[in-house]
Amino acid sequence: MCTKTKIISSFKNTVEKHRLIEENDTIIVGASGGPDSQFLIYLLNELKDFYKIDIILAHLNHMHRQDAIDDENLVIETGKKLSLKTYVSHKSMDDYAKEKKISSENAGRILRYEFFNSLKKNYKNAKIAVAHNMDDQAETVLMRIIRGSGLDGLKAMDYKNGHIIRPIMDFKKSQILKFLDYNKIDYHIDYTNLQRDYTRNKIRLDIIPQIEKINPNFKKSLVNLSEVSKSDYEILKDIEDDIFEKILVKKVKNKLSFDKIRFENLSDPLKMRLIRRAIFVLYGNIKDFSKINIEELLKITDLDTGKKIIKNNLILQKNYKTYDFFIKEKENKEKNQKEIYLTINDDKIFNSFKFKTSIISYEIYKKIEKGKREFFALDDLDDISIKVRYRINGDYFTYLKGGKRKKLKNYFIDEKVDKNLRDKIPLLFINDKLCLIVGKRRSEDFKVSEKSKKILMVSVEEL
């Protein structure tokens, strides 16, 4: 079997093993003009008819080098030679880096994927193919080790991540160059890859060659470490997924709650993983949270109920029944209503709650479904004032029959209502008497009886 046939067969095995391509896919290739992307383009073209795929070349000129136009022209020529549709865009990664105050390397990566994803929207069954090889994977693993990564980081790059595929990660750089040279396929070398300005270049040019003097198979060892980490991660993730579902009490936008008792019964390592998981769910990533940050958040279990730990705009609070993670948003004080007044047969919104009022007879009261409605007898009242607001110091309500009163603050404490919720519970007043703590209980005032003729019905809906 000739070298070309072996390479194509190996490429097809990788595609099949990791299910990277399906029939009738559109494959958008990140085409740089370098050896890796040229290798990927030509191999995909060999399987074009077999998978019945459309191949599209996407080249972003970063405007970083004077000879960048040569890369652009090579991609265009490759597209013409292979009859592949080609898209080219120009954006300065240096300007973007200054604007966002990030490294030029990171800026280039962000701009590339923005460009690729913008093209993807125009095609059905589209995937983005990027040309990371085995050497890239080894370098990534070593970079993660140097930065102190855990198991998640040691997985490094996946063959498939959503709609992004990496079909040539089983090929060494030496194999790629040999294939291109043997088949007389043109490519350009980016001279910035030979500069030591970037961390990855230092690892590639200085660190790995020194270690290879001790272990010539060091790159393969790093890749093997990545594969083992992936296998172990999958096992751990299954356990984590199961526990996460069991302890998750609530999940809404910008907030997530764990069952307090179940969370506290876990081992510290599992707690830390679930804290990381909660952060990922809320933010979509955990890049701003180090191991030290996670360990600091774990200390919440040693604090008193009601205490909180804040990291950036993430708040982790220990409550009576839950541990609550939430992203603190800037409050719009203008839109946060302090109070509203209702009349009979009224319909008004108080922040995130909708209140409706109406008058009914006792006959209707007996037949009507109670549910989220509350009822108050108004027979002895000539003038009626209905108000909704949040709590203030000194609020109290009639707690027991016979007129015994209780401070609202003490009620919240006795009922173990979390501190962060107390100021968000609407209170309904009739003629300045606290009659309803929404979602909790009503007072003993204005109780409905068989003698009631004029009954106020109040329905409350949380929006």
Per the annotation, binding residues are 32-37
| Contact status, residue 263 vs residue 254, Cβ threshold 8 Å | no
What are the residue ranges of helices labelled H in 206-361?
Answer: 208-212, 218-247, 260-264, 268-283, 291-298
Bind-site residues for ATP: 32-37
CA 304/CA 212 separation, integer angstroms: 53
| Distance of alpha carbon 64 from alpha carbon 107, whole angstroms | 11
- What are the beta bridge partners of residue 29? 57, 129
Helix extents (H) in 121-259? 134-146, 151-154, 173-182, 199-202, 208-212, 218-247
Report the 10 Å Cβ neighbour count for 92. 17
| Planar angle of CA 264, 270, 276, nearest 5 degrees | 105
- C-alpha 361 chain-centroid distance: 52
Separation between Cα atoms, residue 415 and residue 404, nearest integer Å: 18
Task: Determine the residue type at 121.
Answer: K
CA distance 256 to 282: 8
- CA–CA distance from 449 to each of 45, 313, 379, 405 (Å)? 83, 51, 11, 21
195: Cβ contacts below 8 Å, ≥ 6 apart = 201
463: which residues sit within 8 A by CB, 6+ positions away? 349, 352, 353, 354
